[in-house]
Structure 1
Amino acid sequence: MASSTDDSTPPDNMAPQPAMPEVNRLTAADITASLKAGFSDFLARPVMSGFFGLFYAVFGILFVWCLVWLGKIWMIIPAAVGFPLVAPFAAAGLYEMSRRLQKGENFGWSEILTVMANQRKRELGWMAFVTLFIFWVWTYQIRLWLAITLQKASFSDFEGFLNIVLFTPQGWTFLAIGTCVGAFLSAVLFSVTVIAMPMLLDRETNFVSAMLTSVRAVSENPVVMLGWAAIISVTMLISLAPAFLGLVFTLPILGHTTWHLYQRAVSPAEV
């Protein structure tokens, strides 16, 4: 007697998993073209784009102020250096703006903010967890190496902390170790998020597949992606100098550019 259930047929409630997208080869010309497109998106909606940069900058200023208020002077430099690690998640609204501009769609604040709010129901929330976890690891290891290398040092203000870090052998050791560990963590976070963040906003997929696709894009285009990471790092660090206010302009442009680079790095989603 034949079974009423065909073992070769999946249950109705099991949706087929989307295939992993194809990763394309990139060149320096792709970064140049993406930067031009990103700058064009910024100029198309400068107020809305600048709002996201301003929000990020104000959050950074308040974050540093809280560290001063709490007496965590030693955390200011690590926080300022590690703060750009969470920028990819902050750029979600910019990705959505670029997506709509690319399609020629009209949109306002409500459309963009609604899409951002809806991300809490999707996989982008898990990517936020990954990002914040790596940022937490960054701050924790800085505290660890600070205790090991500067255990006999004392400082009561930010200027005293700078003098110890910049003009003592123990401070140089702390900077060297912190730089190496920070570079490693930044490389890991960049590899798993640079393509994953815009990909999760653009198509229905899970965050693990998005991270794997991002890592593939970086591993198959190491020179180009390393160049893009260097551009992001230098631009963001320079933007922090004028009290974080440079981020009002640089964060939106980098966010829009990342969207266009993602479009070039990954094959379009199947309709």
Structure 2
Amino acid sequence: MRSQTVRSSRPLLDGAPSVHHIEIDEPLDWLKQGVATFAQAPGHSLLYGTLFALACWGSIGLTWSMPWFALAFLTGLMLLGPFLAAGLYVAARQQESGQSVSIRDSLNLLWLRRTNLSLFVLFLGLITAAWIRLSALLFAIQFDALSPSIDSYLGMFSGHFDPLIAGFFLGIGLLLAITVFATSALAIPMILDRDVDPITAINTSLRAFAINWPGMLVWAASIVTLSGTGILTGFIGMVALFPLLGYATWHSYRRMVA
């Protein structure tokens, strides 16, 4: 495991921070560090994992009840994850500084950072809104209806979907996923740690992705693989995997941002 220096958490005064280069295999180190951080606060970690699992079950239940809002529910869940993980970032930050992990202190710090966090939420919300509107248009073209049924969604996985529309749908979804990952991979940890504005946080995250894209793609694949494992267990696995990924994300921020 590579060594790590704890850096100042004060707001930046001299412009955007520098970004460190990483090796392609370093995401494995972040996961190992995440396990160690988890072990130091298991109760706190499992609480956040349980909350995320409950959010997953709730989203699935709403999707079956109101399938025409499926994309909105599932996209909202993907956006909720990073913000639930914010408490995990604060817990890792507290451990680094030798403090005891405290939910109350976590909430206090989130409140202090509320302005920049809210602006970043707005940024992701605009991307989400554009995706929901575009996907609704694609579904309307395919099914000649503004409110597809659950059978229509399941038809996507059984081959009853126009290949051209499916290609647009998957291509745009992939582009959206890459955009969200590249802009937010380090943004929320950085806002929490240094109280920088969203533009600085997004710019730093983009530069980290551009400089370290091989390692960042490995990191993205690791997130997808572990998240997929959690989904296959009926989201029960997310109780442990969600905090693990949250802590590993914090360590990735600490490793790349000077």
Question: Do the structures match in fold with TM over 0.5?
Answer: yes
TM-score, structure 1 as length reference: 0.81
- Equivalent residues, number: 248
- 1:44, distance to aligned residue in structure 2 (A): 1.3
Mapped contact 1:52–1:91 kept (Cα < 8 A): yes
Mapped contact 1:240–1:246 kept (Cα < 8 A): yes
Larger Rg over CA atoms: 1
CA distance in 2, matches of 1:81, 1:246: 20
Residue 144 of structure 1, aligned match among 119, 128, 137: 137
Distance 1:165-1:202 versus aligned 2 partners, 3 A rule: same
Aligned-partner SS, 1:170: coil
CA distance in 2, matches of 1:68, 1:108: 37
CA distance in 2, matches of 1:16, 1:102: 19
Give the unaligned 5+ runs of structure 2.
Answer: 1-10
Q: Calculate percent identity across the aligned residue pairs.
A: 26
- 1:30, distance to aligned residue in structure 2 (A): 2.4
1:12 aligns to what? none
Mapped contact 1:79–1:139 kept (Cα < 8 A): no
Aligned-partner SS, 1:177: helix
Residue 170 of structure 1, aligned match among 151, 161, 176: 161
Query: Is residue 36 of structure 2 the alignment partner of residue 40 of structure 1?
Result: yes
- 1:252, distance to aligned residue in structure 2 (A): 0.7
Residue 189 of structure 1, aligned match among 175, 180, 193: 180
Distance 1:108-1:204 versus aligned 2 partners, 3 A rule: closer
TM-score, structure 2 as length reference: 0.85
CA distance in 1, matches of 2:237, 2:129: 24
- 1:162, distance to aligned residue in structure 2 (A): 4.8
Mapped contact 2:140–2:146 kept (Cα < 8 A): no
Aligned-partner SS, 1:245: coil
Give the unaligned 5+ runs of structure 1.
Answer: 1-14
Residue 109 of structure 1, aligned match among 103, 114, 128: 103
CA-based RMSD of the aligned residues comes to: 2.6
- 1:261, distance to aligned residue in structure 2 (A): 0.7
1:248 aligns to what? 239
Mapped contact 1:74–1:161 kept (Cα < 8 A): no
Distance 1:16-1:263 versus aligned 2 partners, 3 A rule: closer
CA distance in 2, matches of 1:216, 1:187: 14
Distance 1:136-1:241 versus aligned 2 partners, 3 A rule: farther
> Is 167-176 or 128-137 further displaced after alignment?
167-176
Distance 1:127-1:81 versus aligned 2 partners, 3 A rule: closer
CA offsets, 1:30-51, max 9 Å, x none?
Answer: 2122111111111211121121
2:215 aligns to what? 224
Aligned-partner SS, 1:123: helix
CA offsets, 1:85-113, max 9 Å, x none?
Answer: 44222211111111111222123222222
2:85 aligns to what? 91
Mapped contact 1:195–1:210 kept (Cα < 8 A): yes
Q: Which amino acid aligns with 2:84?
A: A
CA distance in 2, matches of 1:129, 1:57: 24
Mapped contact 2:33–2:248 kept (Cα < 8 A): yes
Mapped contact 1:150–1:171 kept (Cα < 8 A): no
CA distance in 1, matches of 2:90, 2:154: 44
